[in-house]
Structure 1
Amino acid sequence: MTDITTAQPLLTPVELGELRLPNRVVMAPVTRARAGDGLVPTGLHAVYYGQRATAGLIVTEGTWVGERAVGFPNVPGVYSDEQVAAWRRVTDVVHALGGRIVVQLWHAGPAAPADLSSADIREVVADFATAAVRARHAGFDGAEVHAVGAFLLPRFLTARTNSRVDGYRGGRLLAEVVDAVGAVWGDGRVGVRLSPYWDTEGFVADEATVAAYEDHVRMLGERPLAYLHLRGRESAGGTPDFADFARYREVFDGPVIGNLGFDRESGNAIVAAGVVDAVSYAKHYIANPDLVARFAWGRAVAAGDPDTYYQGGAEGYVDYPESR
């Protein structure tokens, strides 16, 4: 009988900094808009993340670092006492079930970097640092800095979206945020998520942008991160392009998590090729709380119901069955 772990590198242990994972199947951050009054997580959050505790690592949905960071309703924060107490209930459940969970720290930011004054930028860094402290009090195993899409930190990373003429045109703000969060958590407990190929809201990454991200990744490589979490892009055939991840792996010596468009086969293949150390899944984890088991036994993955992704309540959130 073939050893499952030999056939599937995704099912083998890995160390991401100080995070020791029993498998390389990571739950990617997925906004689900289920927070209660005061943007406080509810009991449903504890059920939701507890159901998925067999993941090698859970990265929570993006979590606001302060009141100034909020960009959408019903998305939880990690800046108030009530939020911290509620997240503690979540982390306690995940840990009791043998899991590991890091919080993703998120700031929506203004429409453009030029809208922020120097004082505003100092407040942003301070909010991330304070949220990192509160996340430790909430019992998380680490933190991931949100720097993807069209939000605050990634808007600073490219000349296409950053028209500032001071020292904050480029990766300086990201570096200051990562250093502030790292000062709270220590070496090997902080990850960063980047999206060099972000292609929505009218922004399509050109070669200059993709090349600029190499400098940002080199900067991150100078820091004792747990991992770099890279969002790739899908090829015309709908499968991940390994070369997108290999490009940045060449300039980053630490562990890399690949994300976007992977299934069991492509996830195993990119890990086997040594291009990434782990693979994160978003859509698959919505409808498959037992995703690791489904991969292990070669069972089909279920499809989620997009109509319930952000509607609130238990339906489409904690009622997906495990496979039999």
Structure 2
Amino acid sequence: MTMESTAFTSRLFEPARLGALHLPNRLVMAPLTRNRATADGVPEPIMATYYAQRASAGLIIAEASTPNAVGQTYPNIPAIYRDAHVAGWRRVTDAVRAAGGRMFLQLQHGGRIGHPDTTGLTPVAPSPVAFPDPIHTPGGSRPGAVPREMTVAEIRSTVADFAAAARRAIDAGFEGVEVHGGNGYLIHQFLSGETNRRTDGYGGSAAGRIRFAVEVVEAVADAVGAARVGLRIAPGVTANAMREHDVESVYPALVGRLADAGLAYLHVVFADPEQALFHRIRGDWPATLIANPALPWPSPLPADGGRHEGERLLAAGADLISLGRAFLANPDLVERLRRGAPLNPVRDEYWYGGTELGYTDYPALTTAPDRFHPVPV
């Protein structure tokens, strides 16, 4: 039995375009926080090894990196607002490019998901609504701190920080940046009426609550070129204690405002091809759409790592499919999925922080192709 006879035929393995980039396949490594940077946010050398191992992905979106000091969420996450951060990330992008890969960097401000014990600063947010759950800090779990409501001047300076971070990311060798607008972080906090209780032009109606997101994306696009910018959204996703009651009005408004901006892509988290909102977003968005399948969480991954759900999303109109945990545990995920080979299990105990264990020590395929038994879907 030859490799060709065991391989799956799927659009996932077809080449694609993303702006000026030629992608060898439609599989995207989703951004995954791993807490392997230094205490002040400089990427460690082991991060270059980790990402280079996964360079066969059509695109790698590197993990959330903070654009300023107060935006830091957890200990040992990377940043991109100092020269040392640029130099650390340059080692990563050089290694990935040498291995044949392509990378965007995700920009994330934590907003209320920050803590003085981590940053030495009071977190800021659209409104003084505390994160209701414990937050991990260098000294252990601590109750969430009440954030300070951002002034309009602070909003404007934060927008400028995102733009400056984007320029630094390009200097660090990234092909582009992804603005994180989901999963309960600062931009998502502005979008939700539960965490945004402002009565000025940045709150209230859907038009007010999307304003910060639009200003950040437009500033970043002005800084590095719209074709180098993506936006990640998470309509209705409850990560980090988020609650949204009007996703059907907020997200079409946001997508509509940015549809003609010439962005590289829109990245939809926990996309569901059965939901009307997904189809509306697809219909309203003229450029590349990256869809992240709604896989069970925190349940174990399905045996195929999300391949079947990814194919359903492609059939529903997505252009690229992002997978997270499957790439975390399988540096050669593209080849494993193409062959239908078994996947490495995710070792959750090594997910956040630590050494090479559960980070760079996941094995690649060593078994001859004719010994694989395709994984059923």
TM-score range for the pair, normalised by the shorter chain length? over 0.9
Of 346, 356, 364, which residue of structure 2 is paired with 1:304? Answer: 346
Aligned to 1:197: 236
Aligned to 1:264: 307
Q: Residues 79, 201 of structure 1: CA spacing in aligned structure 2 closer, same or farther, 3 A cutoff?
A: closer
Residue 165 of structure 1: CA displacement? 1.3
Unmatched runs of 5 consecutive residues or more in structure 2: 113-123, 128-148, 204-208, 296-304, 367-377
1:90 is aligned to 2:132: no
Residue 243 of structure 1: CA displacement? 4.7
Residue 270 of structure 1: CA displacement? 2.1
Aligned to 2:257: 219
1:172 is aligned to 2:174: no
Whole-angstrom CA distance in 1 between matches of 2:183 and 2:45: 29
Aligned to 2:172: 138
CA distances 1:65-122 after superposition (whole Å, capped 9, x unpaired): 1112112110010111111111101001111111100000111123640300011101
CA contact (8 A) 1:257 1:278 kept: yes
State TM-score, norm by structure 1. 0.92
More displaced 10-residue stretch of structure 1: 304-313 or 23-32: 304-313
CA contact (8 A) 2:183 2:240 kept: no
CA contact (8 A) 2:271 2:291 kept: no
Residue 168 of structure 1: CA displacement? 1.1
1:158 is aligned to 2:158: no
Residue type of the alignment partner of 1:175:
V
Aligned to 1:237: none
Q: Residues 303, 210 of structure 1: CA spacing in aligned structure 2 closer, same or farther, 3 A cutoff?
A: farther
CA distances 1:29-75 after superposition (whole Å, capped 9, x unpaired): 00000011421101110000000000000001100111121121100
CA contact (8 A) 1:197 1:231 kept: no
Aligned to 1:249: 282
CA distances 1:178-205 after superposition (whole Å, capped 9, x unpaired): 1111112213110000000212454344
CA contact (8 A) 1:132 1:185 kept: yes
Residue type of the alignment partner of 1:194:
I
Unmatched runs of 5 consecutive residues or more in structure 1: 235-239
SS in structure 2 at match of 1:39? coil
More displaced 10-residue stretch of structure 1: 113-122 or 161-170: 161-170
Instruction: Map 1:21-170 to 2 at 5 A.
Output: 21-110=23-112, 112-114=125-127, 115-169=149-203, 170=209
Tell me which structure has the larger Cα radius of gyration. Answer: 2
CA contact (8 A) 1:19 1:188 kept: no
Residue type of the alignment partner of 2:254:
H
Aligned to 1:295: 337
SS in structure 2 at match of 1:84? helix
Q: Residues 291, 116 of structure 1: CA spacing in aligned structure 2 closer, same or farther, 3 A cutoff?
A: same
Whole-angstrom CA distance in 2 between matches of 1:71 and 1:183: 26
RMSD, aligned CA: 1.9
Whole-angstrom CA distance in 1 between matches of 2:215 and 2:13: 35
CA contact (8 A) 1:245 1:258 kept: no
SS in structure 1 at match of 2:284? coil
Aligned to 2:372: none
Aligned to 1:182: 221
CA contact (8 A) 2:271 2:278 kept: no
SS in structure 2 at match of 1:87? helix
SS in structure 1 at match of 2:161? helix
Residue 176 of structure 1: CA displacement? 1.0
SS in structure 1 at match of 2:105? strand
State TM-score, norm by structure 2. 0.80
CA distances 1:276-315 after superposition (whole Å, capped 9, x unpaired): 0010001101100100001111112221111000132111
Aligned pairs, how many? Answer: 316
CA contact (8 A) 1:29 1:62 kept: yes
Whole-angstrom CA distance in 1 between matches of 2:290 and 2:90: 26
CA distances 1:116-150 after superposition (whole Å, capped 9, x unpaired): 00111011011101111111110100000011111
Whole-angstrom CA distance in 1 between matches of 2:241 and 2:91: 40
SS in structure 2 at match of 1:284? helix
